[in-house]
Amino acid sequence: MNRRQQFLSEARYSNFFKNKEKTTVFFEENTFQAESESQEKSLRARHFQKLILKEILIRYTAGNEIDTLIPLVESLVDSYETLQEKLAIYEGIPNITPLTIDDWLDQYEECVQVFSLCILLHRTDLLKRFVALIDPAGYAGDDTLYEDLLCKLLPDRYDVDRWYHDVYTPLVLAIYEEDKDEASNLLKKYCENWYPAFKQAPWHDSHKQGDEGSYCGYWALEAGAAAFLYGIDDQDVDHMVYPRDLVEYARNHKPSDKAQIGRIDSGQPCSKTGYWFTPAEADSRRYFLQGEIMPKYEESTWGDTIWYWSGEE
């Protein structure tokens, strides 16, 4: 590993994927304890949605290439859509939100983390789909940071001067600060305050649990998204929770819509000569010639083998 945070050990990283495989296999034949079938399906959907988000975080923490996160974020948004569908049936509320962001600080943080992943990976198509799950619950136009992360990329957003949680105040102020040095200082202050502010979150201090614990990484992704969207100078922001590599990726890659992002199912001919990778196999980045048939990894626990474009060099 080329770790982006010091707390992640090789054993913890390996254990995550072993446990992921075990839980996936276990729940192919077993059910979650629930009072009804609809509740069981909603619990199942939440469990696997959380698992995908954790995988994104631990892969980033471990130093995986940024490109390898893209298919995972696609799967993550798919999982939120499945979760919302199952919750709507269980609760009998068609527009139910998968995240209660006004009452729960950690769920708000999860929401802006997903926003930020979509923003920094230039996946506006996924951002639109995810926001469509949150807006109808009454959150559109109700929180400044929520809207500030969306308005640069999505049309017809709202101008609002209030936010749900005080921890985000320095970041909101950084976005609106006209003095560039002060904006940078506010961004740095936000990163310094971020981890202590989440002492009640279920993941707080998980790095102290050892190799069998639940630590996947501590990342203030929204700080990176704000710096990228609003041109905030982050040169002096050296706190470990700041996702510098993701921000650099966003700055150095041109936005692409989904149709422009190479994606080929195994068994199909390669559409463009160059390098491709698949999350179905570790260290899978390979050079293919146009027309060459893309291979399938039969024994992979990932599922279907889907290849993604990774550049010409």
Distance CA 29, CA 44 (A): 12
Distance CA 271, CA 281 (A): 20
Instruction: Identify whether the C-beta of residue 259 lies closer than 8 Å to the C-beta of residue 292.
Output: no
pLDDT of residue 285: 80
Residue 17: phi and psi, rounded to 5, are -75, -30
- Tens place of pLDDT for every residue, the chain, 313 residues? 799 999 999 999 999 999 999 999 999 999 999 999 999 999 999 999 999 999 999 999 999 999 999 999 999 999 999 999 999 999 999 999 999 999 999 999 999 999 999 999 999 999 999 999 999 999 999 999 999 999 999 988 999 999 999 999 999 999 999 999 999 999 999 999 999 999 999 999 999 999 999 999 999 999 999 999 999 999 999 999 999 999 999 999 876 544 445 678 889 999 888 888 777 776 778 899 988 999 998 876 556 788 877 767 6
Distance CA 131, CA 150 (A): 9
pLDDT of residue 259: 40
Specify the pTM: 0.83
Instruction: Identify whether the C-beta of residue 179 lies closer than 8 Å to the C-beta of residue 185.
Output: no
Distance CA 261, CA 31 (A): 37
Q: Which two three-digit tokens encode residue 87?
A: 């919750």
Nearest to 20 by CA among 78, 72, 89, 68: 72
Nearest to 184 by CA among 235, 244, 220: 235
Please list, in sequence order, all residues whose beta carbon lies within 8 angstroms of the beta carbon of residue 213, skipping any fewer than 6 positions away.
12, 206, 207
pLDDT of residue 284: 78
Q: What's the CA angle centered on 251, arms 179 and 128, to 5 degrees? A: 95
Distance CA 123, CA 279 (A): 18
Which residue bears the tokens 């992640």? 8
pLDDT of residue 89: 97
